[in-house]
Every structure is written in C-alpha cells, then in structure tokens.
Amino acid sequence: MTETENKDMAKQQSSEVKKRERDADTANRPFVDIFEDTGGITLLADMPGVSRDHLKIEVDKDVLLVEGDARIDMPEHMEPLYADVRSTRYRRSFALSGELATDEIKASLKDGVLSVHIPKRAELRPRKIEVSVG
C-alpha cells in the first residue's frame, strides 16, 4: 500500500469518526425509566417513530448503547412550520456493572417504547435465607 493510500484511509476513518460524533451531538436523548428488582434491571426508553429494523442495541465493554432511527412518512416538498423535534436519531448509552448478565439481555419494542431487561447473574441474585427455629 502506498503512502497516499494510507493517508486516504486515515482521512476516511477520521471523517467517519467525525460523522459519528456529529450524529451523537444532534441525536435526541430518549427519555428513560430505569428500575431494579430482585431479578435484574429494566430500562424503558421512549423512541417514537423507531421500528424494529431501525433499532440497534449493543453491549461493548460493559457499555450498553441504544440507538434508533425514526422513520416518518412525509409528503414530498414539505415545508416545516414548527418543530419541537429537530433530529430523527435517538442515542443514549449506559455503563453496566459486573453483576449483570450482559449476555442474557432481552429487548422488545412496542409503539415506540423500547424495553430492555438485564438480568443479574444467577449466582448473584439475592437469596432468601430461611431461619430454622429449634
């Protein structure tokens, strides 16, 4: 590989990184509920307009990343009159802790609400300890 090619590749990579950073900048931060019970942690995220095909859930080095693209059928040549929502992308990430079984994450999506369940590792789930009398 020549030096120019190397440079070109480096340039391409850096522009891709920049694009990703820009996306992260403009993306909506979806509103979430996060709660824990004895079985694990559940995350609910509002991502209106996102269908299953345009949703990505990723765990990389204990970081859970939730990303989605809202697809909206709009007539051609539409002129915006008012906008609360400026981006059709959603993106938010969360750091997970070691007692969570990241390989057993389950997710579902209904009417734009994403539900992610992260169970605790079986050996770490709290156990009731019976006290025997006598």
Partner 1 sequence: MFANMTNFGGSLFDDFRRLEEEMDQLYGRWPLPAGIRSVARGTYPPLNVGATPELVDVYLFAAGLDPKTLDISIQQNLLMVSGERKAPKKEGSNYYRKERFDGPFRRLITLPDDVDPDQVEAHYRDGILQIQIKRSEASQPRQIEVK
The residue ranges that bind partner 1 (CB under 8 A) are 31-37, 42, 44, 46-51, 70-85, 110-113
The nearer residue to partner 1, 14 or 93, going by C-beta atoms, is: 93
- For the CB of residue 27, give the shortest distance to partner 1 in the complex, in Å: 14
The nearer residue to partner 1, 73 or 130, going by C-beta atoms, is: 73
107's CB contacts (< 8 A; 6+ apart) are 57, 114, 115, 116, 117
Q: Any bridge partners for residue 89, and if so which?
A: 69
The nearer residue to partner 1, 10 or 65, going by C-beta atoms, is: 65
3-class secondary-structure state, position 55:
strand
